[in-house]
């Protein structure tokens, strides 16, 4: 009996099947559209595929896998392997990282935001907090200080915020509440419709989000220097999926984080921020700048009480709240 002849074509097919069998694909849950806020994830996917010769790929989905407020839940059950979310969307699910959303912390640059976030992410209490969702923190999505864009008459003083309905989450919401505004928490994808329908008259966002979600289109005013704080929106991975990676795959992923963040910062500064001021001027949006005395009074009224309340609430949850807050403040001043 003759032995079967294995042709070159058959060998190539077998080799292809073998390579496909060992390839690793991760699904990544994002939302909205590609923008400055997701550039580090886009870069990470590019780097991982390149370093592994395509054997490990990240499939990025903008809203096709989960609602943004449910991304942490999806990670917990392994519905996808990687996701981005914002702490303020569900503070009770991730109380440890909400320390990074306290108002008036004094962070001034994206690089500083990265350093402070990493310090908190690496704290054992934070790791235990996210482990409840089978999640491992991978990297932050550093954002500049938020400011408010709105319709109608521009607020000339902080007293003019009295009764103003404004989309603001986390510590920024607390800050707006302190000046008499009425904060409303909603996801970024809901904001434009809420603004157009009059549900809110103002929106607190970083510049990229005002551009991406269209709040700038009908706005009449913008605060240039309110700077009440920012939000913290980490990228996390499913811990079981991370553990299942080969050593080379894990190195390709974790070893690409810093380069991905460097790309993010460069993109945000050289693209988003470079467009922001010209766009405001082009659309004739009034730019409101508050005097130093008003801002100092605002900070004094908000920062201390907000931090004290955060510590008290989270000590009850069993977190080393004072330690986490001190870690943030020490890292900022270092």
> DSSP readout, 222-248?
EESS---------EEEEHHHHHHS-HH
In a domain, 158, yes or no: yes
CA 324, chain centre distance (Å): 19
Residues 59, 97, single domain; the answer is yes
Same domain, 43 and 121: yes
Question: Average pLDDT of 271-282?
Answer: 91
Region 132-157 average pLDDT: 95
pLDDT band for position 152 (cuts 50, 70, 90): very high
Collapse the DSSP code of 287 into the 3-class scheme (helix H, G, I; strand E, B; otherwise coil) and give the result.
strand
What was the pLDDT predicted at 4?
53
* Residue range 84-97, pLDDT digits in tens: 999 988 999 999 99
Whichever domain contains 93, its CATH number is 3.40.190.170
- Domain closes at, from 272, 303, 325: 272
List Cα–Cα distances, 292 to 19, 155, 281, 297, 299, in angstroms. 63, 16, 24, 9, 11
Are 191 and 280 found together in one domain? yes
Residue holding tokens 């990228």? 235
User: Within a domain: residue 34?
Assistant: yes
Whether residues 169 and 213 share a domain: the answer is yes
Do 222 and 251 reside in the same domain of the chain? no
Does residue 11 lie within any of the structural domains?
Answer: no
Are 137 and 233 within 8 A, CB to CB? no
Q: What is the mean pLDDT of residues 127-138?
A: 98
325 and 209 within one domain: yes
Same domain, 89 and 155: no
Q: What percent of the chain has pLDDT over 90?
A: 80
Does 323 lie in the same domain as 180? yes
Is residue 208 within 8 A of residue 268, CB to CB? The reply is yes
Indicate whether 307 and 235 sit together in one domain: no
317 pLDDT more than 90: yes
Q: How many domains does the chain have?
A: 2
Rounded mean pLDDT, 40-60: 98
Query: What domain range includes position 263?
Result: 24-142+231-272
For residue 218 the two structure tokens come to 């009908």
Average pLDDT on 261-279 reads 93
Q: How far apart are CA 150 and CA 326, in angstroms?
A: 35
Q: Are residues 74 and 39 in the same domain?
A: yes
C-beta of residue 170 within 8 angstroms of C-beta of residue 231: yes
Structural domain includes residue 309: yes
Confidence of residue 188 (pLDDT cuts 50, 70, 90): confident
């Amino acid at each position: 009996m003759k032995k079967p002849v294995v042709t070159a074509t058959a060998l190539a097919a077998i080799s292809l099947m073998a390579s496909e069998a060992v390839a690793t694909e991760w699904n990544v849950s994002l939302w909205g559209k590609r923008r400055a806020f997701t550039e580090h994830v886009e870069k990470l996917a590019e780097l991982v595929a390149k370093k592994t010769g395509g054997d490990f790929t990240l499939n990025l989905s903008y809203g096709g896998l989960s609602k943004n407020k449910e991304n942490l839940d999806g990670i917990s059950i392994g519905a996808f392997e990687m996701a981005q979310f914002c702490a303020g969307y569900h503070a009770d699910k991730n109380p440890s990282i909400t320390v990074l959303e306290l108002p008036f912390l004094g962070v001034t640059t994206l690089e500083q935001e990265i350093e402070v976030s990493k310090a908190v992410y690496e704290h054992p209490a934070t790791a235990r907090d996210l482990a409840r969702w089978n999640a491992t923190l991978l990297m932050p999505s550093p954002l500049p200080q938020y400011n408010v864009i709105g319709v109608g008459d521009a607020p000339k003083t902080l007293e003019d915020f009295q009764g103003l309905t404004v989309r603001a989450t986390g510590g920024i919401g607390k800050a707006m509440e302190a000046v008499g505004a009425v904060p409303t928490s909603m996801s970024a994808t809901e904001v434009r419709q809420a603004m157009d329908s009059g549900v809110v008259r103002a929106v607190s966002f970083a510049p990229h989000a005002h551009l991406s979600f269209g709040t700038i289109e009908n706005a009449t005013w913008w605060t240039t220097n309110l700077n009440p704080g920012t939000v913290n929106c980490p990228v996390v991975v499913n811990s079981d999926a991370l553990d299942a990676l080969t050593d080379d795959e894990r190195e390709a992923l974790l070893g690409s984080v810093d380069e991905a963040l460097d790309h993010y910062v460069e993109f945000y500064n050289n693209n988003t921020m470079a467009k922001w001021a010209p766009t405001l001027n082009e659309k004739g949006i009034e730019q409101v700048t508050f005097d130093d005395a008003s801002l100092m009074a605002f900070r004094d009224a908000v920062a201390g009480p907000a931090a004290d309340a955060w510590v008290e609430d989270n000590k009850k949850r069993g977190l080393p709240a004072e330690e986490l807050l001190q870690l943030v403040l020490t890292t900022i001043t270092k």
